[in-house]
Amino acid sequence: MIKGNRYISSTVSAALIAMCICACSTTRTVPDNDRLYTGANVKWEGKKPRDYSTLSAEMNSQTRPKPNRKFAGMPFKLWFYNLGNEPKGKGLNYLLRKKWGEPPVLLSSAKPDYTANVLEQYLVDNGFFQAAIASEIKNSGKKKASITYTVTPNHRYRIKSVTYLTDSSALGKAVAAAKEGSSLKLNRPYRLDSVVAERNRVHIILKDQGYYYFTPDHLLVEVDSTNNGMVDLYLKIKDETPEAARRAYRMKNITLYPNYSLDNDSMSRRGTPVQYNHIRIVDSTKKFRPSVFDKSVFLKPDSLYRLTNHNLTLRRLTDLGTFKFVKGQFRTVRGDSSRLNASFFLTPYPRRSLSAELRGTSKSNNFVGSEIRITSRNRNWLHAANLLEIILSGGMEWQVGGRKAADNSPLLGGNSYNLKAEAAVTIPRFWQPLFNFNVRTPYVPRTRISVSYELFSRSQLYNLNAYSFQFQYIWRQTQYLEHKWSPIAITYVLPTSTTPGYDSILVNDPSQRAAIEKQFILGGNYTVTYNNQSDNREHSFYMNGDLDYSGNLAGLVVPKKDDARKIVGSPFAQYIRLTGDIRHYWKLNRKLTWVNRVFAGFGMPYGNSTTLPFVKQYFIGGSSSLRGFRARTLGPGSYRDTTSQYLANEAGDIKFEFNSELRAKLTGIFNAAVFVDAGNIWLKKDIPTKPGSKFKASSFGNQMAVDGGVGLRVDASIIVVRLDLAFPLRKPWLPSDERWVIKDIKLGDPDWRKENLILNIAIGYPF
């Protein structure tokens, strides 16, 4: 029986090997009179221009057909296809041929002459008017072939002059005045894209001067290439431009329909318009207060139509956050061909919504947990487009693989739970009682007022109660620049139910007392953020600066009593805290991005405070920081908590961190990364129980921790699951000449892996 089983196993293995060999022959399913098309190559003859890389990449992208897709240089889909046979129904052959596989791309499907013409036209559009392209089929082996396109660009034409041919009409004068700032620069290579951009630029300028019906197609750019390798460009208004496009328009009525529905178009338009300032509002159900739209409509009766005001109005109405669709419609007034009526149709979101979110967490300090969050939203609270949010959340966290002290008393770890309730209202304007003003940007300024209560309970240790109130202004200055200012931010932390077990911890580590101190933070904060990552550009940046302060004004008016200034019997924190976060994203090519990040923070306690409040201190380590060190186990400085590398809760007043990560797209939703992290935290003042923790400019560089690692990311667009495997390269708590531990790396040693190798599992990118 055993022999028989071995025979069957060998036969199956041999069959599988034979199938794989068969599949690895990528030409197995190529017809006898054809060849497998392996791709195209564009070869450039002569001197290469400065923008050669752009021209070459674009020409290669325009070659057709595209060869079979590959991963790591191997055509896996074609292999799957070759493994199967033509399916007669559902089954393995159907999966191999129709689902997993990809048929061979054949040379017969290529059209070299047509592709050569496409490439030649592309070169003409970029100033190579005398370019020539030849195609050649190159065979490799018996059944494979590629195509080489040889480009002979010849002379590249440049712009000698740009002339605006206009008449003395109002439109002609407006076009002539638009010449200043032209995108057509003298002595630059001729490009069709530049010509198109210039037509669009002039069109936008005219639209902003009342010419509502004018389009880029009403402009003509003639090219004279008979001037010794240079071109003369002549921009003019087409003779057949209609009269409506030649006229500047003024506004008459601006009407809003804030409860519009496409399914009930006629009913949505019914009702008597209510005049409010310069706009008319048709809202028979009185769903919105008229004042909601006062700061969002920039078009005014009797004013000249301007595209800028048109776009500002659309963006403001959309940015209110209450409407899912906003459509503008402009029509000429009957009996007055020089005026326009504007109608804006606004389709609101459902007023109320309820959502639930369940989260699971796994931290590098051996904590796992879950949280549920329920959010109730009212998008039109008090009929004023205010967003009212009621948020209830609760979660649990417990430690796996933790340790206890020698006397079996609990360390700072174990099970914990938290409960939180928050109510917040966001008002779509700057709300304040003294005066009213409006910021002329496409973005709605907001005022957010929130109150919250949170209970955090750590089993057998302590309970913390946190009460918060915040009054915040939020406004976006440009597409990339956003400001947040909280003139009032109050937090009161009240510890309760501390246990003898926790008191025993404080005997060994008094710094842990800061985690449960009664804290009264009375101050505010200001944050400015610049972020242009939304654009598909080679270099992009994220920059965030934060100023956090507490007790500044109160310290001037509250008298000192018993060596401290107190409110309701509790001393309030006094400090200034500055934080900066700068990130640079460099797209090296389509599949490779290099990201660098610098984070720096500095806190200065004064007056009532000798250290920053615990909730305002800096922490380091973990899945979005130094990934080779467990969260909150590193620092401050060269200090090392020897009680447990899993349970430390170290914090500091000063922080510096640098991260560098090379990200590569693999295939589909899979991405990879290689990274290096460096940094540490420090205390502003020396603590005898933590030697080496004070920040000193002369030694902070020598106290840097460094780690490195690799990562795998599953990017499914709506969610990114990240796995980063990291290990220390430099340990700042070791003797000064032994801190680099690269030579000690032993991936094959289980003891080394247990102590040094850390797997970080997280959602989203680290930065």
Q: Is 637 helix (H, G, I), strand (E, B) or coil?
A: coil
Same domain, 120 and 206: no
pLDDT digits (tens, 9 = 90+) for 460-475: 777 888 999 999 999 9
| 625: CATH | 2.40.160.50
Torsion of CA 25, 30, 33, 37, to 10 degrees: -90
Same domain, 654 and 702: yes
Same domain, 477 and 583: no
pLDDT digits (tens, 9 = 90+) for 161-195: 999 999 999 999 999 999 988 989 999 999 999 99
Q: How confident is the model at residue 366 (pLDDT cuts 50, 70, 90)?
A: low
Sign of CA dihedral 79, 84, 86, 89: negative
Question: Could you identify the residue written with the tokens 């430099």?
Answer: 730
Same domain, 540 and 417: no
pLDDT digits (tens, 9 = 90+) for 257-284: 999 988 777 777 888 899 999 999 999 8
Task: For residue 577, give the nearest of 505, 520, 655 by alpha carbon.
Answer: 655
| DSSP-derived secondary structure for 327-360 | EEEEEEETTEEEEEEEEEEEEEPPSEEEEEEEEE
* Continuous segment of H or E residues that includes residue 54: helix 52-62
Sign of CA dihedral 740, 746, 751, 752: positive
Specify the pairing of strand 446-458 against strand 416-427: antiparallel
Same domain, 545 and 683: yes
Mean pLDDT (whole number) for 404-418: 56
pLDDT digits (tens, 9 = 90+) for 16-25: 444 444 445 7
- Per-residue CA distances from 127 to 42, 192, 715 (Å): 18, 8, 41
Q: Is 132 helix (H, G, I), strand (E, B) or coil?
A: strand
- Report the amino acid identity of residue 709: G
Q: Does the residue 657 lie in any domain?
A: yes
Res 362: pLDDT: 63
Q: Does the residue 546 lie in any domain?
A: yes
Query: Exposed e or buried b for every residue in 197-226, given b needs 16+ CB within 10 A?
Result: ebbebbbebbbbbbbbbbeeebbebeeeee
- Give Cα 134 distance to the centre of its chain: 44
Same domain, 622 and 761: yes
3-state secondary structure 434-468: CCCCCCCCCCCCEEEEEEEEEEEEECCCEEEEEEE
Contact 322, 385 (CB under 8 A): yes
The Cα 536–Cα 638 span in angstroms is 42
Q: Does the residue 28 lie in any domain?
A: yes
Same domain, 310 and 370: no
Mean pLDDT (whole number) for 142-162: 94
Encoded tokens for 257: 């329909």
**What predicted TM-score, i.e. pTM, was given to this entire model?**
0.78
Same domain, 314 and 368: no
Q: How confident is the model at residue 14 (pLDDT cuts 50, 70, 90)?
A: very low
Contact 631, 364 (CB under 8 A): yes
Sign of CA dihedral 417, 422, 428, 431: negative
- Report the amino acid identity of residue 301: P
The Cα 534–Cα 269 span in angstroms is 37
The Cα 428–Cα 291 span in angstroms is 11
Q: Does the residue 99 lie in any domain?
A: no
| DSSP-derived secondary structure for 379-404 | EEETTTTEEEEEEEEEEEEEESS---
Same domain, 586 and 708: yes
pLDDT digits (tens, 9 = 90+) for 555-572: 777 877 777 787 777 788
The Cα 482–Cα 530 span in angstroms is 7
Specify the pairing of strand 654-667 against strand 386-399: unpaired
Q: How confident is the model at residue 367 (pLDDT cuts 50, 70, 90)?
A: low
Q: Can you give the residue range of the structural domain that contains 389?
A: 350-508
Q: Does the residue 82 lie in any domain?
A: no
| 192: CATH | 3.10.20.310
Same domain, 274 and 235: no
Contact 758, 364 (CB under 8 A): yes
Range with the poorest average pLDDT among 262-271, 331-340, 407-416: 407-416
Mean pLDDT (whole number) for 471-493: 92
Contact 374, 345 (CB under 8 A): no
Res 515: pLDDT: 60
pLDDT digits (tens, 9 = 90+) for 638-649: 988 766 444 467
Q: Using the predicted structure, report yes or no on whether residue 15 has a pLDDT greater than 60.
A: no
Contact 437, 405 (CB under 8 A): no
pLDDT digits (tens, 9 = 90+) for 206-241: 999 999 999 999 999 999 998 888 999 999 999 999
Specify the pairing of strand 250-257 against strand 279-281: parallel
Q: Is 333 helix (H, G, I), strand (E, B) or coil?
A: strand
Please count the other Cβ atoms lying within 10 Å of the Cβ belonging to residue 706: 22
Same domain, 546 and 638: yes
How many structural domains is the chain composed of? 5
Q: Using the predicted structure, report yes or no on whether residue 626 has a pLDDT greater than 50.
A: yes
Please count the other Cβ atoms lying within 10 Å of the Cβ belonging to residue 44: 16
The Cα 362–Cα 370 span in angstroms is 9
pLDDT digits (tens, 9 = 90+) for 561-603: 777 787 777 788 889 999 999 999 999 988 899 999 999 999 9
Same domain, 723 and 623: yes
Q: Is 527 helix (H, G, I), strand (E, B) or coil?
A: strand
The Cα 685–Cα 618 span in angstroms is 15
The DSSP code for 270 is -
- Give Cα 484 distance to the centre of its chain: 18
- Picking from 152, 172, 192, the residue at the C-terminal end of a domain is 152
Contact 86, 63 (CB under 8 A): no
21, exposed or middle or buried, with CB in 10 Å at 0-12, 13-18, 19+? exposed
Range with the poorest average pLDDT among 49-53, 540-544, 549-553: 549-553
Res 17: pLDDT: 44
Mean pLDDT (whole number) for 345-363: 86
Contact 740, 734 (CB under 8 A): no
CA angle 634, 640, 641 (to 5 degrees): 95
Highest average pLDDT, of 98-102, 328-332, 364-368, comes from 328-332
- Report the amino acid identity of residue 646: Y
pLDDT digits (tens, 9 = 90+) for 373-409: 999 999 999 999 999 999 999 988 776 654 444 444 4
The Cα 184–Cα 193 span in angstroms is 10
Question: Max CA-CA distance within the chain?
Answer: 104
Q: Does the residue 404 lie in any domain?
A: yes
The Cα 521–Cα 576 span in angstroms is 12
475, exposed or middle or buried, with CB in 10 Å at 0-12, 13-18, 19+? middle
| DSSP-derived secondary structure for 170-215 | HHHHHHHHTTTT-S--TTSBP-HHHHHHHHHHHHHHHHTTT-TT--
Q: Using the predicted structure, report yes or no on whether residue 610 has a pLDDT greater than 50.
A: yes
Q: Using the predicted structure, report yes or no on whether residue 5 has a pLDDT greater than 70.
A: no
Residues 6+ apart with CB under 8 A from 699: none
- Per-residue CA distances from 35 to 29, 52, 108, 136 (Å): 10, 31, 8, 15
Residue percentage of the chain with pLDDT more than 70? 90
Mean pLDDT (whole number) for 593-616: 89
Res 686: pLDDT: 82
Specify the pairing of strand 323-333 against strand 336-348: antiparallel
- Picking from 316, 348, 380, the residue at the C-terminal end of a domain is 348
Q: Which residue would you say has higher pLDDT here, 732 or 668?
A: 732
Q: Does the residue 8 lie in any domain?
A: no
Encoded tokens for 546: 């934060």
Task: For residue 129, give the nearest of 159, 108, 167 by alpha carbon.
Answer: 159
Q: Using the predicted structure, report yes or no on whether residue 419 has a pLDDT greater than 70.
A: yes
Q: Does the residue 695 lie in any domain?
A: yes
- Report the amino acid identity of residue 271: G
The Cα 233–Cα 231 span in angstroms is 6
- Picking from 118, 133, 152, the residue at the C-terminal end of a domain is 152
The DSSP code for 631 is T
* Continuous segment of H or E residues that includes residue 138: strand 132-140
